[in-house]
Amino acid sequence: MTTTPHRRHVPAPVMEPDGDRGPTRTTRVAAGRALAVLRILYGLTFLWAFVDKVFGLGYATKSGKGWIDGGDPTAGFLGKGASGPFESFYHSLVGDFWVTPLFMIGLAGIGLALTLGIGMRIAAVAGTILYLLMWSAVLPPENNPVLDDHIVGAVTLIVLALVAAGNVWGLGQWWSRLSIVNRYPWLR
């Protein structure tokens, strides 16, 4: 008498979005693309703010008041826009030699990193710090006593970095293969 090994019946996998195996490949691809669009849009908002403040295009920065015209892109907000418990701190920063260049480098760097999908961790940390500083400069928030678009932006940047949103429609995979990035993983 021969015995055959006992085989356990395994049901076929269910490929439903809410099934045991998680989202389908189509859903994951669509989510990756949606996050890539979100990343690019946020990157372009930082780049637009940089360009408008450099050239004074007449949107947030008045014509003739751009950085290249001798204007100070941070003086108006820090000097007149800051209010609340940190108002005196922000007023004290107006005119400090390091404030405007650091702010402008931050806008350009965060914008480029997000738009290109590189250095997402650094962009998320720097962008979150910038958003939180802008949030704290005007407390309490004007439209909602709990949160505003700066908090939403900070959380969004963190999520984009956590899900490696630079890998879809960006240079994130190429960036992560660079030897310097492998040597210093915080550059991812």
Residue 91 belongs to a domain? yes
Q: How far apart are CA 122 and CA 161, in angstroms?
A: 9
What per-residue confidence (pLDDT) applies to 124? 98
What per-residue confidence (pLDDT) applies to 15? 43
Q: How far apart are CA 41 and CA 169, in angstroms?
A: 12
Q: How far apart are CA 130 and CA 107, in angstroms?
A: 9
Residue 24 belongs to a domain? no
CB count, 10 Å around CB of 127? 28
pLDDT string in tens for the chain (188-residue length): 555 555 555 444 444 455 556 678 889 999 999 999 999 999 999 999 999 999 999 999 999 999 999 999 999 899 999 999 999 999 999 999 999 999 999 999 999 999 999 999 999 999 999 999 999 999 988 888 778 999 999 999 999 999 999 999 999 999 999 999 999 999 99
- Helix (H) or strand (E) holding 124, with range, is helix 120-137
Largest CA distance in the chain: 97
Q: How far apart are CA 149 and CA 20, in angstroms?
A: 36
The count of structural domains within the chain is 1
Judge whether 138 and 85 are in contact, CB under 8 Å. Answer: no
Q: Which residue(s) pair with 83 in the sheet?
A: 138
Residue 150 belongs to a domain? yes
Residue 25 belongs to a domain? no
Residue 1 belongs to a domain? no
Q: How far apart are CA 64 and CA 56, in angstroms?
A: 6
Residue 173 belongs to a domain? yes
| Structural domain of 121 | 34-187
Judge whether 107 and 48 are in contact, CB under 8 Å. Answer: no
What per-residue confidence (pLDDT) applies to 13? 42
Judge whether 168 and 28 are in contact, CB under 8 Å. Answer: no
Residue 52 belongs to a domain? yes
Residue 137 belongs to a domain? yes
CB count, 10 Å around CB of 60? 13
